[in-house]
Chains A and B, each alone.
Chain A
Amino acid sequence: MNQREFMDEHNHEHHHVQERGELRILSARAGADVAAEAPLAKHALDLAAVRGKLQARAGKQYWRTLEELAEDPHFTELLQREFPRQAPSEWDEGVDRRDFLKLMAASLAFAGLSGCGVPPRENVVPYVKQPEGLVLGKPLFFATVMPFGADAIGLLVESHEGRPTKIEGNPDHPSSLGGTNAFAQASVLDLYDPDRAQLTTNFGDMRSWSQFLDSAQAAAAAIKSTEGAGFRILTGTITSPLLAEEIQGLLKLYPKAKWHQWEPAVSDGGREGAKLAFGRYLNTVYRVEKADVILSLDSDFLAMGPGNVRYMKEFFRRRKLTGPDGEMNRLYVVEPTPTVTGATADHRLPLRASDVELFARALAAKLGLGGGASLPGAEKWIAAVAADLQKHRGSSLVVAGEQQGAEVHALAHAINAALGNSGVTVYQTEPVEAQPVNHLQSITELCADMDAGKVDTLIIFGTNPIYTAPHDFDFATKITKVRNTIRVSTHFDETAEYSQWHIAESHFLETWGDARAFDGTLSVIQPLIAPLYATHSAREVLAAFSDKPGVSDYDALRDRLKAANSGADFEKFWRKTLNDGVVANSAFTPVAGAAKFSADSLPPAKTIPADQLEFIFRPDPSIYDGRFANNGWLQELPKPVTKLVWDNAALVSSKTSEKLDLAHKAASRGGEHGQIYSPVVDVSLSNSKVTAAAWTLPGQADGVVVLPLGYGRTHAGYTGTNRGFNAYAVRVSSALFTATGGTLKKTDAEYSLACTQYHFNMEGRKILASGTLEEYKKNPNFAHEEDEQPDKSVSLYKPQDFPYAPDKPAWAMAIDLSSCNGCNACVVACQSENNIPVVGKDQVMRGREMHWIRIDRYYTHTPSETDGGHSGDPSEYSPALDNPETFFQPVPCQQCENAPCEQVCPVGATVHSSEGLNDMVYNRCIGTRYCSNNCPYKVRRFNFLRFQDWETPQFKLLRNPEVTVRSRGVMEKCTYCVQRISNVRIEAEKQNRAIRDGEIVTACESACPAEAIVFGDQNDPNSRVSKLKAQQRNYTILGELNARPRTTYLAAVRNPNPEMEKA
């Protein structure tokens, strides 16, 4: 097969797209042997070899990929090349010498011309009436909230002359405390998504808003006559009192109308569990900061679900060590598939999702709450956890997962109550949801009514049922029986296809509204910009059917707040609320009453035979349930644990992989790497089929197949359509989160996945250092063992070239690896702040992603004397493969004092600033890439193509004006957000004072919900960064090279239970 054929394989010609939303797979031929002349080489991962290597090793070891662990010679080759050895091969055919000479001649002839020309004539366009409070050139920040499920994340949004450009956390908001997550950071890109629906349509034809209003009012008259018997509203989870009031108003007006809710990625377990334990629906809030010992029952509470940003803040505030005398909380995680919460755990137990309930029952029994269940194989683990929890009565916490069933939640409530945690580390409030219902029941009723022809008018917003409803409901057929469907959504999506009316929905940065946060705190959604298109809010659409159509969101919101806060000076209250981003003192008060639940009351647990595969459905860590599918930043964001981008994959454990022969093959082409050939598998489940790519994931429970939701969309937009496979296709109402009875069959076909964990490998000593709290106390210097610190005076620079003045700032960064769990907020924040382009899957597979800060995932394992070594038998449990410890290391530019990159730049485009920044002068760069070749940390990113989209008008609004534009052929990298440094320095100098510690906050530092990244002046002994660097845990990566990086790391410290070791 020559290269042209190979490219064609990629370019859809030989694809067979099996079903709607299914994986686009390569034909079986692609998996065939590649002919000798083909530039692509594939190399299969040999798990047996990995086991063999593990057997032979002793002492602590770190590895990033299974190939690395296997010391695969092929991998070693990749290691030595960061970028492709040859010039980028964008041509389908190999370029011959003649073509090359022609191009070179033309390039030379025109190269000189490119610098010529007079500056273009430009106009200055001032305001006619300049808005009050706006100072040109100075960004303004407005407080708002991003509604997300049963939570709303408080934000401060940066606005440049009216354009929202960057999201920051709101320190005054309880759900943020100043931090954000990747979803919130990326939401600004959704606003400017050029694929958004821009107007109202009727069966795809353009309509004006007034035409819709007329039609709605006509419909309302008909609805009124039947008292709303055929009127239905379907929404996602709603925490907005304003929206709920509008719906309730309609239900009052039309007494027979019904409101249904469907949130696909969150189970009813939380609600029903509260009902089991407390007799009614209640909301559970954790005070993670107060807990010394935390047990997560399959809960990814640090990254997903209500309050995740706050919980992350609180959790890691209990993990900050100032010295060996520090104390830490302890986290146990029981989960089927590795999550960022699991990767943070001090002890992690991979269990099948269905066994998590057994675990909870056994733990309850152990704690004397009745039930008498046990979980064979985990007794020692359970005993150790139970003892630890009991030791910390009143300061422990059990958290149940969002995808777990009611029983697990009820057991968690009962255990928390029994341990005296209720009211201390956990409390209940009235539901945050405007109307808590059982979502599965709710959508089941709606489907039955639709099928029976009882539904006449249906309004759908906040959920995408054609794509997400259980497969067995056949929503697409039933919706055709509805006479008038009104779809309100930001994109013309799958459900819009089946609707009569489509109303383009405004983004939350364009509308007035309100939302409750995880603890009930009420916040106002304040728009940053007038709607970009002819879009409307869901409330306006609902109002169109009411007796008061046409009331604006702004008026409705103010009226509601006025009514709720009568008496006080409303204007003052209003201004304060908008300024603060929260309605003061609006958090719900804890509800009294302990859990009345005994494990004895539970029916016998269902058990799944060990030989049966368990399929579980989980929201994707990057694009959630599919709602962010068209967001390029999130699509290209390496998923925290798998590091896959642009695709989902059926995740299997290494043992299952060996059994079913699902090992992937790493491909490389002239040094380009990141393309992984994965075997395609046919998943048959619940009378349906889907074709997926398989991915072997260390740390996953055996016999579990994870089918991540959110991919395989057919109407997401340019970015999100037809990526990955649609897991909803095999999801039925009887098995929403855990399904059994399915089969997974390997086919001959292969599918190429893009995985970034094969990129930017560093080679050398001391890249990651980790230890336990006990080790740290015993040997506070553990991070420096085997350290080789070269003589500081050895330098290629003449000392007089860099006399860093001790009284001037020396910018530096310290990253506490104890606090990093790889959540990715910093990566998106950096992308947003620095206008970093999205490159697409094909370019990622060539190793050309542009993220200035990457998060490396490391697995580690210390073979202990007690585990008796490995026989190499695949069925044997080997912790290194089956449950390795996981660490994350964010790597931005290290800003070396002896920067190797600077020495080799022929044009002086990268040089030192007086404050120790490794400046990158883009306008000087000619793209030799010498700097990148000489960078031991591999943090430089090269614009192989013009990745940035300069034409799409929406994206022009998105960009941060404080950052230089980079084009093709220019090297770029992290500069510690030099634009932020400059702006703060200018302000400080104007006031004739020194820059205060903490005044300059880099984008990554500001976004980090774990406060792991600290930036500051290392010449100031009192700065936070100096104090961190003064700790013995502080170390530099590849210190033996004497590059003397300004970015240093604090060794990760975990706090395992010593009892567990003995167990």
Chain B
Amino acid sequence: MFLVCGCIPESFGGHYRVTVDPAKLLIACEEPASAAILVVRGGTIKRNELMPQLFHRSANSAARISILAVVILATLGLTVVFGGVRSPNFTNQYLIRNQPIQFSHKHHVGDDGIDCRYCHTSVEVSATAGIPPTRTCMNCHSVLYNNVGYLAPVRESYSTDTSIQWVKVHRLADYVYFNHSIHVNKGIGCSTCHGQVNQMPLMFQANTLQMQWCLDCHRNPEQNLREKKDIFNMDWKPGPDQAEKGKLLAAQYNIRGVRELTSCSTCHR
């Protein structure tokens, strides 16, 4: 009923009696002798001055508010949807995974000062940085902490020749062909994407890894360029002169232009 009234212009309200036949779902009106007949969805609306107003005047405000409400709700809904897919709930940003071995980058990188490349050997030459084979762990742990309980899975993996099944933390869509080597060779440091790994007792994803985030940098790489010596420096932060320095570095590294860096085939094949 409300909707029917909402759909009929206000001026009609004083002059027409509108009835609804629920059985036929027809809108029917009665008519004084002289009036024209309006046909609405198979029904008729006829003039009838004897009929009192069916709705109170406040129904008009309700109709207006309801239209406004629809707009607001839609906006809210879209905000929730678009915000949602960008939220950590959806992107898994900041999510700490339960790993088979609670490996601490904070300890190995931050405390011991082991270089990233000791384990992630192919980061400078290949698309993938590489997850170290168990043997790399055993290089040290055959001597250090060689009988502590929480390293048992490492020893077991080594002795039974079965891989450790790490849970993937940084996952890109399959249709994205990210290449580590070109980034670290062109002045993008590890921490730009992976965050300050030396302060992560357990690894989590520091950025959204969404296309928007990739493009932010591909459209303006200068903001993140650092010198070669700082690539593996986890504590590097852009200084106040980054804008200037970035331009110089971009020239030095021969960074391709924005048009090249944002061509689809740069990342998709």
Enumerate chain A interface residues (CB-CB to B < 8 A): 118-119, 121-130, 135-138, 808, 911-915, 917, 919, 921-923, 962-965, 975, 978-979, 981-982, 986, 989-990, 992
Please classify the interface of chain A as helix (H, G, I), strand (E, B), loop, or mixed, using the class held by over half of its residues. Answer: loop
Q: Which residues of B contact A917 (CB under 8 A)?
A: 263, 265
Q: Which residues of A contact B175 (CB under 8 A)?
A: 922-923, 964-965
- A-B CB contact pairs (8 Å), 21 listed: A118-B92, A119-B173, A125-B164, A125-B166, A127-B133, A128-B157, A128-B161, A130-B133, A808-B260, A914-B263, A915-B260, A917-B265, A919-B268, A923-B175, A923-B268, A962-B177, A964-B175, A981-B265, A982-B269, A989-B182, A989-B186
B264 touches A965 (CB 8 A): no
Residue of A nearest to B120 (CB): A136
Q: In angstroms, how far is the closest chain A Cβ from the Cβ of B194?
A: 15
Complex Cα spacing A126 to B171, Å: 16
**8 Å CB contact of B263 from A127, A913, A986:** A913
Residues on B with C-beta less than 8 A from A923 are: 173, 175, 268
The answer to whether B128 touches A136, judged by C-beta atoms less than 8 angstroms apart, is yes
Residues of A within 8 A of B177 (CB): 962, 979, 982
Q: Is B127 close to A, CB under 8 A? A: yes
Residue of A nearest to B184 (CB): A990
Cα(A124)–Cα(B128), bound, Å: 12
Pair B265/A128 contact, Cβ less than 8 Å: no
Query: Closest CB-CB distance, A273 to chain B, in whole Å?
Result: 52
Residues of chain B within 8 A (CB-CB) of A963 are 269
Within the assembled complex, what's the spacing in Å between the Cα atoms of A919 and B263?
8
Choose from A126, A979, A986 the contact partner of B269 (Cβ within 8 Å).
A979
Q: Is the CB of B92 within 8 A of A127?
A: no
CB nearest to B171 among chain A residues: A119
| Residue ID in chain B nearest A986 by CB atoms | B182
* Complex Cα gap A135–B132 (Å): 11
B168-202 interface bits toward A, Cβ cutoff 8 Å, 1 = contact, 0 = none: 10010111010101100110000000000000000
Q: Closest residue of chain A to B185, judged by CB?
A: A990
User: For window 119-171 of chain B, which residues contact chain A by CB distance below 8 Å?
Assistant: 121-122, 125-128, 130-135, 157-158, 161-168, 171
**Assembled-state Cα–Cα distance A962/B254 (Å):** 26
Question: Which residues of A lie under 8 Å from residue B257 when comparing CB positions?
Answer: 914
Chain A: minimal CB distance from B158 (Å): 6
Q: Name the one of B122, B163, B268, B269 contacting A128, with C-beta atoms under 8 angstroms.
A: B163
Using a CB–CB cutoff of 8 Å, the interface residues on chain B facing chain A are 90, 92, 121-122, 125-128, 130-135, 157-158, 161-168, 171, 173-175, 177, 179, 181-182, 185-186, 253-254, 256-257, 259-260, 263-266, 268-269
Q: How far apart are the CA atoms of A922 and B269 in the complex, in Å? A: 8
Contact of B260 among A126, A914, A965 (CB under 8 A): A914
Min CB–CB distance A163 → chain B (angstroms)? 16
For the complex, give the distance between the alpha carbons of A923 and B172 in Å.
13
Contact residues in B for A130 (Cβ distance below 8 Å): 133, 135
Query: What residues of chain A lie closer than 8 Å to B186, measured between beta carbons?
Result: 989-990
Q: How far is A913 from B133 in the complex, measured between Cα atoms in Å?
A: 38
User: Which of A129, A922, A962 has a CB less than 8 Å from the CB of B133?
Assistant: A129
Let me know if A978 and B269 touch, CB within 8 A.
yes
Q: How far, in whole Å, are A808 and B263 apart by their CA atoms in the complex?
A: 14
Chain B residues contacting A990 (CB-CB under 8 Å) are 181-182, 185-186
Report Cα–Cα, A934/B256, bound state, in Å: 32
Checking B90, B125, B165, B179 against A125 with a beta-carbon cut-off of 8 angstroms, the contacting residue is B165
Name the contact of A921 in the complex, choosing from B122, B166, B268 (C-beta under 8 A): B268
Cβ-closest chain B residue relative to A802: B259
A135→B168 contact, CB < 8 A: no
What separation, in Å, do the CA atoms of A603 and B133 have in the docked complex? 74
Residues of the A chain whose Cβ atoms lie less than 8 Å from the Cβ of B127: 137-138
B182, A137: Cβ atoms under 8 Å?
no
A-B contact count (CB 8 A): 128
Q: Say yes or no: A135 contacts B122, CB within 8 Å.
A: yes
Query: Smallest CB–CB gap between A806 and chain B, Å?
Result: 14
Q: A982 to B166, alpha carbons, bound, how many Å?
A: 29
The distance from the CB of A348 to the nearest CB of chain B, in whole angstroms, is 42
Report the bound CA distance from A986 to B132 in whole Å.
Answer: 23
Which A residues touch B264, using CB under 8 A? 911, 913, 919, 921
What distance in Å separates the Cβ of B91 from its nearest Cβ neighbour in chain A?
Answer: 8
Chain A nearest Cβ from B248, distance in angstroms = 16
Q: Which residue of A lies closest to B122 (CB)?
A: A135
List residues of chain A with CB within 8 A of the CB of B90: 118
**Which of A127, A914, A922, A962 meets B259, CB within 8 Å?**
A914
Q: Which residues of A contact B259 (CB under 8 A)?
A: 914
Decide: B269 and A975 in contact? CB cutoff 8 A. yes
Q: Is the CB of A986 within 8 A of B268?
A: no
CA distance A338 to B145 in the complex (A): 75
A921 to B265, CA, bound (A): 8
Listed from nearest, the 3 A-B pairs whose CB atoms lie closest are A913-B263, A137-B126, A127-B133
| Bound: A658/B27 CA distance, A | 74
Contact present for A126 and B161 (CB under 8 Å): no
Could you list 10 further interchain pairs (A-B, Cβ under 8 angstroms) beyond the known A119-B92, A123-B165, A126-B132?
A121-B168, A124-B131, A137-B127, A913-B265, A919-B268, A962-B269, A978-B269, A979-B177, A982-B179, A990-B186
CA distance A989 to B186 in the complex (A): 9
By the criterion CB–CB under 8 Å, are A128 and B134 in contact?
yes
Are B135 and A129 in contact, CB atoms less than 8 angstroms apart?
yes
- CB pair B163 A126 closer than 8 Å: yes
A125 in contact with B128 given A137-B122, A919-B263 (CB within 8 Å): no
* A46-B146 Cα distance, complex, nearest whole Å: 86
Query: In the bound complex, do residue B128 and residue A126 qualify as a contact, i.e. CB atoms below 8 Å apart?
Result: no
Contact of A992 with B131 in the complex, beta carbons under 8 Å: no
In the complex, what's the smallest C-beta–C-beta distance from B102 to chain A, in angstroms? 16
B158, B175, B182, B264: which has the most chain A beta carbons within 10 Å?
B264
Give min CB distance, A113 to chain B, whole Å: 13
In whole angstroms, how far apart are the Cα atoms of A135 and B181 in the complex? 12
Chain B residue numbers with a CB within 8 Å of A975 are 265, 269
Q: Smallest Cβ distance from A134 to chain B, in angstroms?
A: 9
Partner of A123, one of B157, B167, B253, B268: B167
List of B residues within 8 angstroms of A124 by Cβ: 131, 165-168
| Cβ–Cβ < 8 Å partners of A127 in chain B | 133-135, 163
Find chain A residues with CB under 8 A from B168 CB: 121-124
Give the distance in Å from the alpha carbon of A979 to the alpha carbon of B176 in the complex.
12
B163–A136 touching, CB < 8 Å: no
Closest CB in chain B relative to A207 CB, distance in Å: 29
Task: Provide the residues of chain B in CB contact with A919, threshold 8 Å.
Answer: 263-265, 268
Contacts of B166 in A (CB 8 A): 123-126
Contact yes or no, A126 B185, CB < 8 A: no
Contact B135 A128 (CB under 8 A): yes
Would B174 and A965 count as touching, CB distance under 8 A?
yes
Q: A128-B161, A986-B179 are in contact. Are A964 and B167 (CB under 8 A)?
A: no
| Nearest CB in chain A: distance from B164 CB, A | 7
Return chain B residues, CB-CB under 8 Å to A137: 122, 126-128, 130
- Can you name the residue of chain A whose Cβ is closest to the Cβ of B180? A137
Complex Cα spacing A981 to B134, Å: 34
Shortest Cβ distance from residue A950 to the other chain B in the assembled complex, whole angstroms:
12
